[in-house]
Chain A
């Protein structure tokens, strides 16, 4: 299993419970992937941690499941029944016998921007990936750490779990089949110059808003404008920020409409007076999500405007943003002022790994669910999707991966 996000975890847990040995490789120091960063799921407005907790619980008890974190796959070779996977283990400077007591972070003098919160706050160089981290184990950021000359953490750790001399290692693993679930990256909105992405502090992405709204996030769940840490009186959600765009992501990301509606719903809870507006081309609330759309539309008083904003301008004095958009209903060009703009940044496929031939990718950078006999892909690596289909895609890939083993009587 390459990737410890929701589809990878699902594939792992389902295959392990079906009786097959699973080894999961995750590039980051913790499992959970992108969903671990989310505040709430749509349409139930429930926390992703509820589902993750059950998955972790099932995996923690399952002797057929093993995993490596900070492990990046650099090559996959061989074929069904005899794959060889080359894995690069990045040094985390903390050994597996870390108990998660946190002494290292208490004494650590160095800091790093917290990538989990998109740099909106800082952690010590020795840090827990996040509150619900699985494994519950500290890691040390090699770039921020002052190295063996400091070593305060080594002295503080009662368990001898810190090894500042740890080096990268390369492993070669054998597998009967491989599932590729490398997931997605939020589209880099700095490329959306006309929206001021990456330039105007109060133009943020939907993922940043998720972190902000999360009780464990950088603002402890408060929605605050980055420029002045003030609660915004008006928020605009700009859809298709990079999606459905020949110049950026050619595909629709499938989820952003619902993400924005969801965000409108929870923002309404904490900012009851704020003006909420959403600018869109089509509201793609397919299936039963239509109910959710109707509920949010009626329950939040969000102003829905059909029209893709052409430009967002900042008033440098106030940090407020002028959104320029043609309202398709009356053809008028609106120039509306907002205190915060949330760009619904689309889903870009994760960066190419050496393990996968470039030819495996389609024009959008996604891969086919069946790459070769024994080599399958799942989740957002195959196409943009929300959590539920990613879970199903994970289960589907797990089935394909165990077919060869099943025919040989494994798992009984």
Chain B
């Protein structure tokens, strides 16, 4: 658990609602206003021990406008999408959806690649290029992103055992097929992204 900058120090933390408004404007972001700070999410998260801030804390920081703390925190990246918080949240907030949306916000506003996002990016590339995901392809792309060619080779070697086993058992398709309507799919995606006011 991170301690807040300024916490306990002489300088009180200044509320700035601008950031919160940006977050509220995200898809489903307005739900966050409903949070009543009960903390159920904090306890329910399987990754809570690794989190810099619990979701509850993160939401209070968003409300206070602490953009830097929020986006610096690992919270949104360690979410496993297990849905527990969403099922339990007494205010019915789709916390999981918000975590994804915050990842999206991060990636599009920070213009930098978060080391934690390479898997996501690899996944997305594969989706855009083929319409479906092949696990092997995604992992390779991911490793390439993380460590460049050398890294990827090293990582593949490290994972060689698993990969070979999967391959042997017929569970790894190295080159998955492209879907036929790939162009259409990409058009749909482009349109949707544009509707969100965001183009890749």
Interface, chain A (partner B; CB < 8 A) = 194, 240, 244-248, 281, 307-311, 324-326, 328, 331-333
Taking the nearest CB of chain B, how far is it from the CB of A15, in angstroms? 40
Interface, chain B (partner A; CB < 8 A) = 1, 36-44, 48, 53-54, 56-57, 87-92
User: Could you say which residues of chain B place their CB within 8 Å of the CB of A194?
Assistant: 44, 88
Contact in complex: A328, B37 (CB < 8 Å) = yes
User: Could you say which residues of chain B place their CB within 8 Å of the CB of A240?
Assistant: 38, 90
Query: Which B-chain residue is minimally distant from A334 (CB atoms)?
Result: B43
- The contact of A328 among B1, B39, B90, by CB within 8 Å, is B39
Contact in complex: B90, A246 (CB < 8 Å) = yes
Q: How many angstroms from the CA of A334 to the CA of B49 in the assembled complex?
A: 12
User: Could you say which residues of chain B place their CB within 8 Å of the CB of A332?
Assistant: 1
Q: How many angstroms from the CA of A325 to the CA of B56 in the assembled complex?
A: 12
Q: How many angstroms from the CA of A325 to the CA of B39 in the assembled complex?
A: 7
A-B contact pairs, 13 of them (CB 8 A): A194-B44, A194-B88, A246-B89, A246-B92, A281-B36, A307-B39, A308-B39, A308-B90, A310-B43, A311-B43, A326-B42, A331-B57, A332-B1
Which 7 A-B pairs give the minimum distances between C-beta atoms? A310-B43, A246-B92, A326-B39, A326-B42, A308-B38, A245-B90, A310-B44
* Known contacts A194-B88, A247-B88, A331 near B1 by CB under 8 Å: yes
Known: A281-B37, A331-B53, A333-B42. 4 other contacts (CB 8 A): A246-B89, A247-B90, A248-B90, A310-B88
User: Could you say which residues of chain A place their CB within 8 Å of the CB of B40?
Assistant: 308-310
Query: Which B-chain residue is minimally distant from A245 (CB atoms)?
Result: B90
Contact in complex: B90, A325 (CB < 8 Å) = no
Query: Which A-chain residue is minimally distant from B7 (CB atoms)?
Result: A331
Taking the nearest CB of chain A, how far is it from the CB of B39, in angstroms? 4
Q: How many angstroms from the CA of A119 to the CA of B87 in the assembled complex?
A: 30
Contact in complex: B57, A309 (CB < 8 Å) = no
Contact in complex: A310, B39 (CB < 8 Å) = yes
- The contact of A326 among B43, B87, B89, B92, by CB within 8 Å, is B43
Q: How many angstroms from the CA of A328 to the CA of B42 in the assembled complex?
A: 10
- The contact of B91 among A246, A309, A326, A328, by CB within 8 Å, is A246
Contact in complex: B43, A333 (CB < 8 Å) = yes
Contact in complex: B87, A247 (CB < 8 Å) = yes
Instruction: Identify which of B44, B56, B90 gathers the most chain A CB atoms within 10 Å of its CB.
Output: B90
Taking the nearest CB of chain B, how far is it from the CB of A278, in angstroms? 14
Q: How many angstroms from the CA of A307 to the CA of B40 in the assembled complex?
A: 7
Q: How many angstroms from the CA of A356 to the CA of B13 in the assembled complex?
A: 54
- The contact of B42 among A246, A247, A281, A310, by CB within 8 Å, is A310
Taking the nearest CB of chain A, how far is it from the CB of B93, in angstroms? 9
Q: How many angstroms from the CA of A157 to the CA of B48 in the assembled complex?
A: 66
Taking the nearest CB of chain B, how far is it from the CB of A2, in angstroms? 32
Contact in complex: B90, A324 (CB < 8 Å) = no
User: Could you say which residues of chain A place their CB within 8 Å of the CB of B43?
Assistant: 309-311, 324-326, 333
Instruction: Identify which of B37, B40, B48, B91 gathers the most chain A CB atoms within 10 Å of its CB.
Output: B40
Query: Which A-chain residue is minimally distant from B36 (CB atoms)?
Result: A281
Q: How many angstroms from the CA of A282 to the CA of B88 in the assembled complex?
A: 18
Q: How many angstroms from the CA of A331 to the CA of B57 in the assembled complex?
A: 8
Contact in complex: B54, A247 (CB < 8 Å) = no
User: Could you say which residues of chain B place their CB within 8 Å of the CB of A309?
Assistant: 40, 43
- The contact of B54 among A245, A246, A331, by CB within 8 Å, is A331
Q: How many angstroms from the CA of A324 to the CA of B56 in the assembled complex?
A: 15
Taking the nearest CB of chain B, how far is it from the CB of A325, in angstroms? 6
Instruction: Identify which of A247, A324, A331 gathers the most chain B CB atoms within 10 Å of its CB.
Output: A331
* Known contacts A310-B39, A311-B44, A326 near B54 by CB under 8 Å: yes
